[in-house]
Chains A and B, each alone.
Chain A
């Protein structure tokens, strides 16, 4: 190719070129803020956790069956808090995934445009309610309600916290799933309808598999929300660190523990206080695992319509 100088009318305009470059760098640096945030989170959590693990063996942390870091006889078994977190999340997901998915399918495949356009915003409003409000709702409304059916239920329990958390997550799941389903092109549905499939058959056999990666994303976000939810469990699940997977028990979760200690009376820098960073790190890693799983699921099953 000729590298001869190009006639003026077609040569690069330097000023324009430089301006474009600068803009690109600015945009890139904005995108890096998100990376910096993660780095910041990891840095803070790891730095403070190192102090903690300097005094508590990581083996104990992972294997001890008691969590009494603030007692005179301290134990640091994170499993105790994890069990609470996992149980409440599992209850929440048992509500949120079926209800959310059913709703999404209903809105996307069955409901009329009118119903959909009315229902979606209302559901999104549910997602906008401050979680602390949900917390007191669980404690003062749902728990007494459950007690009518099951009088033995303690005043604080994972069950009502989990249920309310599930309701809170429903809109996240239904909204994202519904978007994913609506993105499935009509031509795919028509293919199935043309063979004589009913709406439900089309929904379950064609739309749901086609929207799989979107559904996975919705579920993963739901899990992250459940695992990371703080105020509902702090208020309604009781603060008793229990190694239990029984929904009718009361138990502490990682998040509830952190928020409580963060405003408690412990001297900062003490091992007891440092536990919140170790717990925070655990929580971060837990959600990281779920999110990475979601990412790869999405990548693997990216829709090619």
Chain B
């Protein structure tokens, strides 16, 4: 090709910069990945020895080798159920409102700024809110429901934002098709927008929950208990009315609290417990994320507009 030598030199230089950047990109990727690997191996090294079945089926104990995370994982599980049950309907409804209903006015702008802001409010501030509002004003105590509600508020912006993004990805042509057939707004939303944006919404919910599951600061602030050698009452009973909501007001402990507590124990052996519990927690979040990725992949296959 006939381009001037000067130009060719410029091109060569530009292409060299390209290569350098690729190097940087890969380095950044390796940096992030290796941190993760180091962290993971660190935990495995410290905690692996404690990961036996008993670790999952025993309550906490003052003897490190006897202590398990039964109450912690059940508590985390119960709290996550409340969180999901509260955050998902409210968050999805808010997202629908903002995308499909809200007129473009001051109030909508206010709600939007507000949600954006909430997404950046430090989790510890939610803890203070929960302490003042749920624990003291509403008298809900340091219970499953308080923690669930607190974390629900915490992840609400995540769910709303994910919902809105998923809804926005549904092309306008689908909406117009439904309207043109005589669908009302709600029929359009419930028959089309909502089902088609499900993968995105679910991903957002799971990512929100996986953030909530590892949150320590807010639950520490509301004062979750640490030693608890029993489980919340079962939600289903053998006698009518078969449902039991006592578990909501039951005291509980959660994985991050358990970890936090064990790390501050004087006995060295508890550090292994803490690592093992942290490992379990990380694996739990990994699993949730993996499910989110899988769902996103599975459900999106059907949606090629």
Contacts and interface: CB of A to CB of B under 8 A. Distances in A.
Q: A–B direct touch, CB within 8 Å, in complex?
A: yes
B117 interface: yes
Contacts of B116: 291, 294-295
A167 interface: yes
Interface string A193-209: 00011111101000000
Interface string B183-204: 0111000000000000000000
B157 interface: yes
B129 interface: yes
B111 A30 contact: no
B55 interface: no
A140 B153 CA distance: 33
Contacts of B28: 99, 102-103, 106
A45 interface: yes
B267 interface: no
Report whether over half of chain B's contact residues are helix, strand or loop; otherwise say mixed. helix
Interface in A148-173: 167, 170-171
Given A40-B133, A133-B278, A295-B116, A126 B36 contact: yes
Contact of A31 (B35, B111, B184, B220): B111
Contact of A121 (B24, B122, B278, B289): B289
B286 A125 contact: yes
B29 interface: yes
Contacts of B97: 24, 27-28, 30-31
Contacts of B285: 125, 128-130
A188 interface: no
A132 B14 contact: no
Interface in B78-102: 89-91, 93-94, 96-98, 101-102
Contacts of A200: 14, 17-18, 21
Contacts of B39: 129, 133-134, 137, 141
B125 A110 contact: no
Interface stretch (B59-67, B209-217, B227-235, B239-247): B209-217
Contacts of A228: 120-125
A280 B128 CA distance: 8
B32 A167 contact: yes
B69 to A, nearest CB: 14
A133 to B, nearest CB: 5
B51 interface: no
Contacts of A27: 93-94, 96-97, 101
B303 interface: no
A164 to B, nearest CB: 8
A292 B119 CA distance: 12
B128 A258 contact: yes
A100 to B, nearest CB: 8
A38 B114 contact: yes
Contacts of B186: 19-20, 23
Nearest to A23: B186
B7 to A, nearest CB: 9
Given A31-B94, A31-B102, A221 B32 contact: no
A44 B132 contact: yes
Interface stretch (A56-64, A240-248, A281-289): A281-289
A131 interface: yes
Contact of B123 (A174, A230, A262): A230
Contact of A263 (B38, B102, B215, B220): B220
Given A20-B186, A102-B28, A131-B216, A258 B221 contact: yes
A122 B129 contact: no
B144 interface: no
A12 to B, nearest CB: 11
A231 interface: yes
Nearest to B110: A35
The CB with the most chain B CB atoms within 10 A, among A105, A126, A130, is that of A130
B299 interface: no
A50 interface: no
A32 interface: yes
A48 interface: yes
B3 to A, nearest CB: 10
Nearest to A221: B120
Given A132-B278, A203-B21, A228-B122, 9 more contacts: A106-B28, A125-B285, A128-B207, A133-B278, A134-B39, A141-B42, A228-B121, A259-B217, A287-B122
12 contacts: A30-B91, A48-B132, A128-B207, A129-B285, A130-B281, A167-B31, A230-B217, A255-B122, A258-B127, A259-B127, A262-B223, A263-B221
Interface of B: 11, 14-15, 17-18, 21-22, 24-26, 28-29, 31-33, 35-36, 38-39, 42-43, 89-91, 93-94, 96-98, 101-102, 110-111, 113-129, 131-133, 153, 156-157, 160, 184-186, 207, 210-211, 213-217, 220-221, 223, 255-256, 259-260, 263, 274, 278, 281-282, 285-286, 288-290, 293
Interface of A: 16, 19-20, 23-24, 26-28, 30-35, 37-38, 40-41, 44-45, 47-48, 99, 102-103, 105-107, 110-111, 119, 121-134, 136-137, 140-141, 167, 170-171, 174, 196-201, 203, 220-221, 223-225, 227-231, 255, 258-259, 262-263, 276-277, 280, 283-284, 287-288, 290-292, 294-295
Q: Closest 6 interchain pairs by CB?
A: A228-B122, A106-B25, A130-B214, A224-B120, A30-B93, A44-B132
